[in-house]
A and B are shown apart, each in its own frame.
Chain A
Amino acid sequence: MPPRKDSEGGDRKPMTMQRRDFLRAGLVAAGGVVAGTGATNSLKSGDAVDDAKAPATLTLTADGELVVSSALSDAGTRPTSDEVRRGVPGRRWVMVIDLAACDGCGKCTKACAKSHFVPSDREFIRVFSMEDSSSAAPYWFPRPCFHCDNPPCTRVCPVGATFKRQDGIVLIDNERCIGCRFCMAACPYSVRAFNWSRPDNPPAAVARGYSPEWGYPRRVGTAEKCDFCADMAREGKLPHCAANCPMAAIWFGDENEDAVTNGKGDTVRLSALLRDRAGFRYMEELGTKPRVHYLPADNRRYPAPGEPGANTGHQTRGAVQQ
């Protein structure tokens, strides 16, 4: 594979002052977390979630050395194009969405849109109001990219711009995509969006520089979609949708570890969760083998769509979209 070039220029700037300042602030914040945790006298499982909020990760080695690691720290830790294509070694990222817990508030969509600078005409995780039959109550159905193990989108890509990594994530290289939109036609879940117009990339998106692991700054005429927050997972942090779900309905983890964690910091055994709650994958009959599992919407902990007090937010959000 030839080295990828930055086709539109200016996106591969070295770390900016702004980012350096951010890192410094992050170090201070992380230090604060160390001090704070040391002082606190209760250690609950799930304190790692505090780590997830720290922009830099501190690792205390056995030798007592403090090791700082962060994707933001310098260009050296930016995954190489080979690492981006291969994924994080030994991992099989997996997501479980608890339909009994989702109340359709749409905070996952908003958090995702904010962190990925998603334009208003698309949603990487979209909350549908589903009703399986007229006799069954409706329920909310958040739909990220399913990162299928047998992905119809990567099959049809003529140039390998969208690809399946060995850690399970399906990504798009917007510097290679030719914009044929075959992947959009092939995806049975209508996950993919297209940069129809010249994108309006905010300065923060431009400053970070492009990688398929976060997909911005955007390129006109190329496809994009939910990326499972590949950069976050690489650092051991939950994706934005899971971390920001107030109902803790979105679980994320590593199938190889047989564990998933939700936004509250609860970590449970994946196999037990799927077994005990009768987990399923959406439209299993399509044979796409999604990496996103659902827990059925039984004994819901929220008003179903259309009932008094139910959320309706997504419907106004979607009204302008096509």
Chain B
Amino acid sequence: MSATPLPDFQIETFAPFRASPPAKHTAPDVERDLLATLDPLGSRGRLWIASLLAVCAIAFIAWIYQLRFGLTVTAMRNYVSWGVYMTNFVFFIGISHAGTLISAILRVTDAGWRRPITRMAEAITVIALLIGASSVVIDMGRPDRLLNLIIHGRLQSPILWDLVSVTTYLTGSFLYLYVAMIPDMPMLAQHARDRGRSRRLVRLYELLSLGYRETPAHRRLLARALGAMAVIIIPVAVSVHTVVSWVFGMTLRPGWHSTIFGPYFVVGAIFSGTAGIITAMVVFRRAYHLERYLLPEHFHKLAKILLVLSLLYAYFTLSEYLTAWYGGLESDSRLLGLLVGNTAFGRSFWLWAIFGLFVPIGLLLFPSHRSVRSIMIASVLINVGMWWKRFLIVVPTLETPFIPAQAAGIAPRYFPSLVECLITAGAFAGFLLLFTLFSRLFPILSIWETAEDAEEVKPTVRTDHAFTGAGRARSRVIPATLAIALLGCGVAAAVAPFSAARAQTAQAKAVIELTRTTEDKQEMLVAKVTANGLAVKGATVAFSVKRTFGFMALGEDQTLDDGTAAVAFPTALPGDSKGELTFRVALRSPPELDGSAADVKLAGAPARPWPSVPPRALWSSRVPLAVPVTIGFLVLCVWSTYAFVATQLAALRNLKEEN
């Protein structure tokens, strides 16, 4: 891969911004300036951390309160069963895509201007993922049973896909963040030693440095590790937001069951993630006085990416809702009536479309009007808007179920409760707090990469395309007879098929024999009634067959002079486990015989076989083999790349011993 980051091309392309002072710093400047960000905080910085801690503490108390009383302290109810916690989950997972896109894609394409941005982007990924994952735990009714996901996990469930891909992404982004920090660690250790910081901190930096030194051997190993991570993390990131969207997309609900939900969420994630990193850049630029390093050019380049993404998101939004609206399915129309019609949600949707999409597009569209300030405003609008857009994805669908709740006099409404608002505030505060603390421990701009930029040395990081292959990796049971109610007169007698049974009542001593015969090619059920040894003529015989919950009438017939009465045999009627049918023959007349009855078993149609194991199916307890095979293959590809990176780091560590 080409080493030089296309300087000529850059200057031409970004000519409008050459008015801003070009980077004139040298490597020692960079080291001094960036290490200075680790200096003790002033009173404003301390106040900032203290207030974030306070918000987190309040949110923690709110969470304890929620654990004590259950999710009833939220505004979620049986119809709208997901709310802002789910919104936060989607939002933070989305923000986490900042790191991947900016850092990995720019690293893979070797864009030189990425260098002051990568560290921040990678840190956002890790921190946002931690917050997003905890949002799910907060949303759970039984967080104490979290381990059931591992003990009883079902691979058919998109939640398991989430678990696998978020864990993989979190591990990967930790590793990626760390590998890119290794060359800074010796500097940090030295700096901490010089400043007389605690020995434990120095020890931490030394431990993390793995004995890295600026030697060709070290650089080569690091470059291979970083190149492999940069490639593999891109498909992992795409998979994460795809399966997050599938938590919604795999259901049948209007507004969720959409084929474009995967890419729609991925674009939305990169969109809000890019806006997130611009916002973070603005904040850190001001807080740590990094104007010399975070140049307007960086903002302008990111602004172009953000513009493309906002147009892309507008396009996806249009295709998602226009097709639903034009098609006009009843369920879709009901949802759209709520989502884009003249309702509270509808008005907020259009407010989002204007201020979360069109205004930012306008601010970003014209190069002559782009400034750090306008880019920042666009980014903040996009961030706020994308949180709300996620809310509009989660809630209105739940308020418009297929069977309208209004038909039962119920109006599902959702507006977050105080506890939900406090915990949401805590999630944001926690994100900012972790980000701030990270920037206290490690320089928020990568020293070695920024210095590299300053000196225009040949980039040490090469993308090793050997890893793109991995990157593509994206009973018959004998039924126990039920307890059968045979209350009533008569004695149940189990008899062999086609044989007769006798039943007597003490009252009239009627005897009923039942047989199955074929008359004129028709299967008949024939009862012969005798009393005191004589055939009974003219008696009314009611035939029925026993079913689990009652006797099913087959018909009535009068006995002939030979004492027989007959109805058609229910040939296709399934019998019990042995294929036997229990018939009840009762006499309705003459009065002296009324009430006589007999229960007789005859062979009927065979019972249906009872499968000894459930089939392999998505709904079943047995997973279709394609699911674990696919997931296993993808996981293996990604984790073997992680393992490769780990071996490079181990080699890096061993180099120290050789020297």
In the bound complex, do residue B140 and residue A30 qualify as a contact, i.e. CB atoms below 8 Å apart?
no
In the bound complex, do residue B487 and residue A30 qualify as a contact, i.e. CB atoms below 8 Å apart?
yes
Residue of B nearest to A90 (CB): B479
Question: How far does the Cβ of A67 sit from chain B's closest Cβ, in whole Å?
Answer: 7
Q: Does A115 contact B (CB under 8 A)?
A: no
Of residues 190 through 222 on chain B, the ones whose CB sits less than 8 Å from some CB of chain A are none
Of residues 574 through 593 on chain B, the ones whose CB sits less than 8 Å from some CB of chain A are 574, 576-577, 584, 586
Mark the stretch among B7-15, B78-86, B119-127, B428-436 that contacts chain A.
Answer: B78-86
Of residues 480 through 497 on chain B, the ones whose CB sits less than 8 Å from some CB of chain A are 480, 482-489, 491-494
Choose among B401, B410, B491 the residue that contacts A322 (Cβ–Cβ < 8 A).
Answer: B410
Docked Cα-Cα span, A14 to B307, in Å, equals: 68
Docked Cα-Cα span, A163 to B475, in Å, equals: 19
Of residues 383 through 422 on chain B, the ones whose CB sits less than 8 Å from some CB of chain A are 398, 401-405, 407-413
In the bound complex, do residue A37 and residue B549 qualify as a contact, i.e. CB atoms below 8 Å apart?
no
Q: A41-B594, A42-B595, A163-B621 are in contact. Are A129 and B408 (CB under 8 A)?
A: yes
| Residues of chain B lying within 8 A (CB to CB) of residue A27 | none
Number of interface residues of B (CB under 8 A): 100
Docked Cα-Cα span, A221 to B73, in Å, equals: 12
Q: Does B532 contact A (CB under 8 A)?
A: no
Of residues 247 through 265 on chain A, the ones whose CB sits less than 8 Å from some CB of chain B are 252-254, 256-261, 265
Residue of A nearest to B71 (CB): A196
Contact string, B565-579, partner A, CB cutoff 8 A, digits 1/0?
Answer: 000001011101100
Mark the stretch among B18-26, B156-164, B266-274 that contacts chain A.
Answer: B156-164
In the bound complex, do residue B157 and residue A43 qualify as a contact, i.e. CB atoms below 8 Å apart?
no
Docked Cα-Cα span, A269 to B584, in Å, equals: 16
| Residues of chain B lying within 8 A (CB to CB) of residue A88 | 482
| Residues of chain B lying within 8 A (CB to CB) of residue A64 | 491
In the bound complex, do residue A194 and residue B81 qualify as a contact, i.e. CB atoms below 8 Å apart?
yes
| Residues of chain B lying within 8 A (CB to CB) of residue A154 | 619-620
Number of interface residues of A (CB under 8 A): 114
In the bound complex, do residue B76 and residue A196 qualify as a contact, i.e. CB atoms below 8 Å apart?
yes
Q: A180-B139, A258-B574 are in contact. Are A156 and B158 (CB under 8 A)?
A: yes
Question: How far does the Cβ of B420 sit from chain A's closest Cβ, in whole Å?
Answer: 13
Q: A128-B407, A317-B409 are in contact. Are A49 and B550 (CB under 8 A)?
A: yes
In the bound complex, do residue A253 and residue B549 qualify as a contact, i.e. CB atoms below 8 Å apart?
yes
Choose among A34, A51, A157, A286 the residue that contacts B154 (Cβ–Cβ < 8 A).
Answer: A157
Docked Cα-Cα span, A51 to B82, in Å, equals: 44
Among A50, A260, A322: residue with most chain B CB under 10 A: A322
In the bound complex, do residue B251 and residue A221 qualify as a contact, i.e. CB atoms below 8 Å apart?
no
Q: Does A300 contact B (CB under 8 A)?
A: no
In the bound complex, do residue A180 and residue B475 qualify as a contact, i.e. CB atoms below 8 Å apart?
no
| Residues of chain A lying within 8 A (CB to CB) of residue B72 | 196-197
In the bound complex, do residue B548 and residue A316 qualify as a contact, i.e. CB atoms below 8 Å apart?
no
Choose among A91, A269, A321 the residue that contacts B78 (Cβ–Cβ < 8 A).
Answer: A321
Question: How far does the Cβ of A150 sit from chain B's closest Cβ, in whole Å?
Answer: 6
Docked Cα-Cα span, A151 to B404, in Å, equals: 20
Docked Cα-Cα span, A179 to B410, in Å, equals: 23
Choose among B71, B82, B410, B552 the residue that contacts A321 (Cβ–Cβ < 8 A).
Answer: B410
Q: Is the interface of B mostly helix, strand, loop or mixed?
A: loop
Choose among A43, A51, A130 the residue that contacts B586 (Cβ–Cβ < 8 A).
Answer: A43
Q: Does A17 contact B (CB under 8 A)?
A: no
Q: Does B530 contact A (CB under 8 A)?
A: no
Q: A37-B488, A155-B618, A180-B141 are in contact. Are A220 and B250 (CB under 8 A)?
A: no
Q: Does B373 contact A (CB under 8 A)?
A: no
In the bound complex, do residue A164 and residue B620 qualify as a contact, i.e. CB atoms below 8 Å apart?
yes
Q: A158-B154, A322-B77 are in contact. Are A221 and B403 (CB under 8 A)?
A: no
In the bound complex, do residue B586 and residue A182 qualify as a contact, i.e. CB atoms below 8 Å apart?
no
Choose among B403, B546, B577, B597 the residue that contacts A190 (Cβ–Cβ < 8 A).
Answer: B403
In the bound complex, do residue A179 and residue B159 qualify as a contact, i.e. CB atoms below 8 Å apart?
no
| Residues of chain B lying within 8 A (CB to CB) of residue A40 | 595
Docked Cα-Cα span, A99 to B527, in Å, equals: 38
Choose among B78, B489, B492, B577 the residue that contacts A62 (Cβ–Cβ < 8 A).
Answer: B492
Choose among A41, A166, A317, A322 the residue that contacts B412 (Cβ–Cβ < 8 A).
Answer: A322
In the bound complex, do residue B152 and residue A159 qualify as a contact, i.e. CB atoms below 8 Å apart?
yes
Residue of A nearest to B413 (CB): A322
Q: Does A122 contact B (CB under 8 A)?
A: yes
Docked Cα-Cα span, A321 to B77, in Å, equals: 9
Q: Does B70 contact A (CB under 8 A)?
A: yes
Q: A186-B251, A196-B70 are in contact. Are A47 and B482 (CB under 8 A)?
A: no
| Residues of chain B lying within 8 A (CB to CB) of residue A2 | 151
Of residues 604 through 627 on chain B, the ones whose CB sits less than 8 Å from some CB of chain A are 607-608, 610-611, 614, 617-621
| Residues of chain B lying within 8 A (CB to CB) of residue A185 | 81-82, 248, 251, 253, 398
Q: Does B544 contact A (CB under 8 A)?
A: yes
Question: How far does the Cβ of A163 sit from chain B's closest Cβ, in whole Å?
Answer: 6
| Residues of chain A lying within 8 A (CB to CB) of residue B158 | 156, 182
Q: Does A18 contact B (CB under 8 A)?
A: no
Residue of A nearest to B160 (CB): A158
In the bound complex, do residue A189 and residue B403 qualify as a contact, i.e. CB atoms below 8 Å apart?
yes
In the bound complex, do residue B577 and residue A90 qualify as a contact, i.e. CB atoms below 8 Å apart?
yes
| Residues of chain A lying within 8 A (CB to CB) of residue B466 | none
Q: Does A315 contact B (CB under 8 A)?
A: yes
Mark the stretch among B142-150, B235-243, B287-295, B318-326 that contacts chain A.
Answer: B142-150
Contact string, A39-56, partner B, CB cutoff 8 A, digits 1/0?
Answer: 011110111111110100
Q: Does B69 contact A (CB under 8 A)?
A: yes
Q: A166-B610, A190-B402 are in contact. Are A236 and B483 (CB under 8 A)?
A: yes
In the bound complex, do residue B619 and residue A151 qualify as a contact, i.e. CB atoms below 8 Å apart?
yes
Q: A47-B488, A185-B82 are in contact. Are A158 and B149 (CB under 8 A)?
A: yes
Q: Does B542 contact A (CB under 8 A)?
A: yes
| Residues of chain A lying within 8 A (CB to CB) of residue B156 | 155-156
Residues of A within 8 A of B (CB): 2, 30, 33-34, 37-38, 40-43, 45-52, 54, 57-62, 64, 67, 69, 85, 88-92, 121-123, 126-130, 141, 143, 150-152, 154-161, 163-164, 166, 176-182, 184-186, 188-190, 192-198, 219-223, 233-238, 252-254, 256-261, 265-269, 283, 286, 288, 314-319, 321-322
Q: Which 8 pairs from chain A and chain B are nearest by CB? A: A179-B141, A221-B141, A51-B485, A261-B549, A197-B72, A315-B409, A259-B547, A322-B77
Q: Can you name 20 A-B pairs with beta carbons within 8 Å?
A: A33-B487, A89-B480, A90-B479, A126-B408, A143-B403, A151-B619, A159-B154, A160-B152, A178-B146, A181-B82, A184-B81, A185-B253, A197-B69, A220-B142, A221-B70, A236-B548, A256-B574, A261-B547, A269-B570, A322-B411
Other A-B contacts than A155-B618, A156-B159, A322-B412, 11 sampled, CB-CB below 8 A, are: A46-B551, A49-B550, A60-B486, A64-B491, A90-B479, A176-B152, A180-B141, A181-B139, A188-B253, A197-B69, A221-B140
